[in-house]
Amino acid sequence: MHMKHLANKTLAIFLGVTLSVTAGAAGAPKVKKLPPRTQYLAVMMDGKKVGHSISGFKIEGDKALTSVMMKMTLSRGGTNITLIIDTLETETLDGKPLGFSMKLNQGQMVTTGKIDADGKLNVEMTVAGMKQKRPLDWPKGALLSHGRMIAERKAGLKPGTKITSIVFDPTSLSPMTVTSIVGEKSKVDLLGRVVMLTEIKSVMQGASGKMNTTTYVDDDYIPLKSITPAMGMKIELIDCSKAVALASNETLDLVAKVILSSPTSLSKKALSGPLVYTIKPTSADSAPKFLDGANQSVKTADDKTITLTIRPTPAPKNAPLVYKGKDPEALKALKPSDYVQSDHKKIKALAKKAVGDAKDAATAVQRIETFVRRYIKTKNLSVGYASAIEVAESREGDCTEHAVLTAAICRAAGIPAQVVNGLAYTEQFGTYRNVFGPHAWNRALVGGKWVGVDSALKEFNTGHIALAYGDGISDDMFKVINTIGNFKIITIKPPK
């Protein structure tokens, strides 16, 4: 089941809030040399301390440097995974973006970006020792943390003040629109220390979804607490002493938080045919969203009840093996990406071996699915989040590793393929029976039809609820995080 990528995206959410905390601690409208500052924060999930963050700000010459080191440990069915992310943003004293760097221990990923005089962002990404360079246009008006905080502090803390900023997100290499509204002052508990702080509600809107955050700042606009709802949980960053931040963590099992009970056991026969799911949000505030299209259709009633119909996706026979069409989505699903390195020589060799003498796409996809299932020898949760080439070398992992390798081999063979994130039914997962859990699989384009592929489980069936399609990158996870934990399944039945 797909726990690691959820944890990675959660860490990225924390990071975005923490960067704002750091900038707030030292940023100011006036350009002057400020003393260095270090801030410690406890990382909390559902009231449990799961990690810490160390944020810093300093000025070197004519540059403002904002840094964050964040570390948290989560349990997945008894297996602990530790996530560490280091980020440094470089700006001018008045908030003009110059560049950034980011290191993530899971996937051995390092990303650096430098903005040149022509407004081009030159990105270099290293994943498991493989370097890729990518020139991008810097989004017009986009800020990093120091610049955003300068703009917000200029706006002031008068209740009702609204400010909208375009903020660049280094984790997804894309801009996000952040709209903040200043609220009233109130007493806020900082792990037993109660202070008067001003509430600021923010909405972060990205390409694939949005995230709501409530931040509490002091009179100098220094954020001391933030709350972000995700996966049906309350995620918090709380200002504290060094001793508290570095103190031992509590165990939080992500599986127990995001697993979803099925109202009925589903037989192999039932899963081979169409199924209709009746779904209800868990609260008035939650608004779960499901993908509508291909083999999955969605209808929402006035009372917010969702009817989700999922149908089997048999592959058309005798479809050409190599895609020659012009559909933009399909063409994108043929290109190599940061985690799906379909142009690597080892991946190409595996594709040749997997496909063999297959002459049509359906046969090739079936062979690739079986090949990946057998090729990954060690099935476990210990791998953080690996790229296709890492999986090709290690031959271990869970569903995310199966998915990125399957996508890479399909693309190398000329078949458009995407990583799908969502939920899948299983009769047994650890001590849980008849549940839906976070899962990653694939869909491949065969004869103009997107067909489900699951190399981690024994087969693809209608017990798969799709929430996001893409390359398996962090930005694809917004929809998953905003939906998982925010609904329950009332009934599952065949259509009438």
**Integer CA distances (angstroms), 79 to 5, 82, 237, 252, 275, in order:** 15, 10, 24, 11, 33
Q: What pLDDT, on the 0 to 100 scale, is given for residue 192?
A: 93
Q: What pLDDT, on the 0 to 100 scale, is given for residue 29?
A: 40
Confidence of residue 27 (pLDDT cuts 50, 70, 90): very low
Q: Please provide the average confidence, as pLDDT, over all residues in the chain.
A: 86
Domains of the chain from N-terminus onward = 4-253 (no CATH), 268-493 (3.10.620.30)
Q: Comparing 55 with 284, which gets the higher pLDDT?
A: 55
* Helices of type H across 206-267: 242-245, 254-258
Long-range contacts of 160-169 (CB under 8 A, 24+ apart): 166/139, 166/140, 166/141, 166/142, 167/16, 167/142, 167/143, 167/204, 168/97, 168/100, 168/138, 168/139, 168/142, 168/143, 168/144, 169/12, 169/16, 169/206, 169/475
CA angle at 177 for the pair 73 and 94, rounded to the nearest 5°: 90
* Helices of type H across 51-124: none
Q: What pLDDT, on the 0 to 100 scale, is given for residue 106?
A: 63
Confidence of residue 23 (pLDDT cuts 50, 70, 90): very low
**Integer CA distances (angstroms), 340 to 50, 139, 337, 387, 388, in order:** 30, 25, 5, 6, 5
Confidence of residue 18 (pLDDT cuts 50, 70, 90): low
Confidence of residue 274 (pLDDT cuts 50, 70, 90): very high
Q: What pLDDT, on the 0 to 100 scale, is given for residue 233?
A: 82
pLDDT in tens, 156-204: 899 999 999 999 988 778 888 999 999 999 999 999 999 999 999 999 8
What is residue 208's DSSP assignment?
T
Q: Please report, as a single letter, which amino acid is at residue 133.
A: K
Q: Is the confidence at residue 279, as pLDDT, over 80? A: yes
Distance CA 355, CA 371 (A): 9
Residue with token string 């031959």: 395
Q: Is the confidence at residue 24, as pLDDT, over 50? A: no
Residue with token string 């996966």: 231
Confidence of residue 400 (pLDDT cuts 50, 70, 90): confident
Q: Is the confidence at residue 271, as pLDDT, over 50? A: yes
Name the token pair of 257: 């938080």
Angle of the 399-412 helix axis to the 361-375 helix axis, nearest 10: 140
Q: Is the confidence at residue 57, as pLDDT, over 50? A: yes
Name the token pair of 263: 């109202």
Burial class (CB in 10 A: 0-12, 13-18, 19+), 85: buried
Contact call for residues 217 and 181 (beta carbons, < 8 A): no
pTM listed for this prediction: 0.77
Distance CA 447, CA 149 (A): 51
**Among the ranges given (176-185, 210-219, 254-263), the one the predictor scored with the smallest mean pLDDT:** 254-263
Of 386, 424, 381, residue with least CA distance to 404:
386
**Cβ contacts of 123 within 8 Å, gap of 6 or more:** 111, 112, 113, 133, 134, 135, 136, 173
Q: What pLDDT, on the 0 to 100 scale, is given for residue 138?
A: 94
